[in-house]
A and B are shown apart, each in its own frame.
Chain A
Amino acid sequence: MRRQPVPTRRRFLALAGGTAAIGALPVAISVRPARATPEMMATAIRTVTGGANVKPGKVKLDIPPLVENGNSVPMTVSVASPMTANDYVKSIHVFNEKNPQPNLGNFYLKPSAGRAQVSTRVRLADSQKITAIAKLSDGSFWSTTADVVVTLAACTEDVI
């Protein structure tokens, strides 16, 4: 007589996870809107820069490469600048390419800031590339990018 295969714990857990993911899918779809596109991000960036050349450099974007929950992603942007009356960062703009809309934040600074650095927490709907752009007092634009992988929660619950 042949014995029925006894599922191992590992196999069972993998299966339970798979079932949970399938079960959760309709909810995830119902709350996920149409996405922005990289083109929308490019348009949003042009709105800020007026089409001026954006050079890589001067800007540092600290954001975790792998985030536990896309609902609250800590992010710090700093710009190498002396922050004097003649040479300072006027504004910092952060963009994404896959959220429903392309803006993550605009921040307007004064020379009195002393340090061109802002931190906030943002929502990221999916793994994507983040772009931070700084506008300097001489009218130049500088930027950097970072890739973020967003993991999705295994269990979901209805919106309450």
Chain B
Amino acid sequence: MKVVAAIVLSSLLIAAGIVLRPLIATEIPASERRSGYTFMSPDTKAMQDDDTTNPGMLGVIEGEALWNRKGGSADKSCADCHHDAKVSMKGVAARYPSYDKVLGGPVNLEQRINLCRARHQQADPLPYEKHDLLALTTYVAEQSRGMPITPDPTPELQPFVAKGRDLFMHRQGQLNLACTNCHDDNWDKHLASSAVTQGMPNGYPIYRLDWQSLGSLQRRLRNCITGVRAQNYDYGAPELVELELYLMSRARGMPLETPAVRP
């Protein structure tokens, strides 16, 4: 009886995703860090490699038009202050999320664009995950394509990076899984037929075939959080920005691929 009870209990624990093994967070050594690109099929790689076939480039074109469009009560465009994005935005996405002195905390690229709109254009914020914000973010991030990720070194930012790391290591949801369980410990395996991958943030916004559109890193994070059946965070929530911060620190030195294509 005791044996049966033990087996039943352990099955329940497994079913609930409560693994008895203690959590050992083993971060991926720099030499083993791999972009999601390296896990893709040759066809998907080819789609990203050629700007004339990469659907993410449509977002770049649309973002460029938005960059030059005047708006808000100030009737100003991004270009009125920042001029040529090819010069002024070069390298910017590689160091975001960045520290905002007024807010005393981190802001991601989307939030920076909306802060700019509020502070300098006197314009309403662009809604998350809608066309305009995705296109503008893609256009800005594309200016850093090929540049290594160099996280913002501001000391005040470091506690937020640490919070993001804690969240990455924290088991959550009905499957009781932490990000690290898949993306540090099992990145070389498959979940059904999909590669688990290392969860690197170096191509966002990405054109995801599954989405059939561009999408932000936060959409991808929310996607994973839904996957482990956890309570999700709203777009722009501090927790998601902190996760972004940690992911970028974890991807330090990896070249930015925006707009990356992913399956």
Contact = CB atoms under 8 A, between A and B. Distances in A.
Q: Do chains A and B touch in the complex (CB under 8 A)?
A: yes
Contacts of B2: 2
Contacts of B129: 160
Interface residues of B, number: 38
B193 A72 contact: no
Contacts of A19: 15, 17, 175
Contacts of B191: 13, 16-17, 20, 154-155
Given A4-B20, A9-B185, A71-B209, A16 B175 contact: yes
Given A152-B192, A155-B223, 19 more contacts: A2-B6, A4-B9, A4-B10, A5-B10, A7-B14, A9-B186, A12-B14, A16-B17, A16-B177, A19-B175, A20-B175, A20-B227, A66-B41, A68-B44, A68-B194, A71-B212, A72-B47, A152-B193, A154-B192
Interface string A2-26: 1011110101110111011101000
B19 interface: yes
A151 interface: yes
Interface residues of A, number: 32
Nearest to B40: A68
Given A15-B15, A71-B212, A154 B193 contact: yes
Given A5-B7, A12-B14, A72-B209, A155 B224 contact: yes
Contacts of A4: 6, 9-10, 20
